[in-house]
Amino acid sequence: MATQETHIVDDVCVVALAGEIDMSTADDVEQWLAEAIRATSLKRLHADLSSVEFLDSSGLRALLRSKEAAVEAQVDFAVTNFSPRIERVLRTVGLYDYLTSEQAA
């Protein structure tokens, strides 16, 4: 189960995700982020993971593809507010800097 909520904070479009990002929800998450990237007129987009309890390889893949889509759309994309468990996932896969920094690779 995953849900999303989009709101604006200053000049950042924030997509707050909640629940689990795994095999069953990864496609939805990717779609939500893709839509947000397309629709926003802002130049910065954050995926707020404070309410995300679980992230596996499919979830990671969704985040990676979102980052690629953002780079193509010239939107700065970063994930924020993740739990220690999710931080560990990002560090293990060696993509912590890539995903948490707004810059492209």
Partner 1 sequence: MPSPDGTGRPIPAFATQLLAALGRYTGTWVSAVVDRDDGRGPTTIATAGRPATVSGKPVAETPLALTVPWTGVLRMPATGPAGAQPDATGTGAAAADATGTDPAGTDPTGADATRADAAGTGTGGIDTSAPVRLTAQRLATALEYERLRQADLRRQSWLTYLLEVGDLLAHSIDTQLTEALIPRLVVPRLVEWCALYTLDGKGVPRIATVAHTDEAAAANMLSPQHAFGKRLNSRQMLDTVLDATGAVVTGVPDCLVIPMRAHGQRVGALALGGPGIADAESVSIAEEVARRGAAALDNARVHDERRHISHTLQQALLPPTLPVVAGLGIGTSYLPAGQYNQVGGDMYDLITLPGGDCVAVIGDVAGKGVQAATVTGIVREVLRVLLIEGKPVTEALDALNETIRSRCQRYCTMALAHVQAPTVGDALPVTVYLAGHDQPVLVRRHGEVQPVGVWGTALGVLPRVHCVPETVLLRPGDSLIMFTDGVTERRDGDEFFGLEGVCESAAQLAAHPADVIAQGLATLALDYAAEEPRDDITIVALRNDARPAA
Name which position in 6, 19, 87, 98 contacts partner 1 (CB under 8 A): 98
Q: How far apart are the first and last CA of the chain?
A: 30
Q: Where are the beta strands (DSSP E) in 1-105?
A: 2-9, 12-21, 44-55, 76-80
Q: Shortest gap between Cβ of 61 and partner 1 (angstroms)?
A: 5
Name which position in 18, 34, 42, 64 contacts partner 1 (CB under 8 A): 64
Instruction: Report which DSSP code applies to 24.
Output: T
CA distance 100 to 22: 19
Question: Which amino acid is located at 63 in the chain?
Answer: L
Name which position in 7, 38, 43, 91 contacts partner 1 (CB under 8 A): 91
* Site pattern 44..63 for partner 1 (x: CB under 8 A): ------------xxx-xx--
Torsional class of 2: left (φ above 0), alpha (ψ -120 to 50), beta (otherwise):
beta
- 92 contacts partner 1 (rule: CB under 8 A): yes
- 42 contacts partner 1 (rule: CB under 8 A): no
Which residues contribute to the site for partner 1 (CB under 8 A)?
A: 23, 56-58, 60-61, 64, 91-95, 98, 105
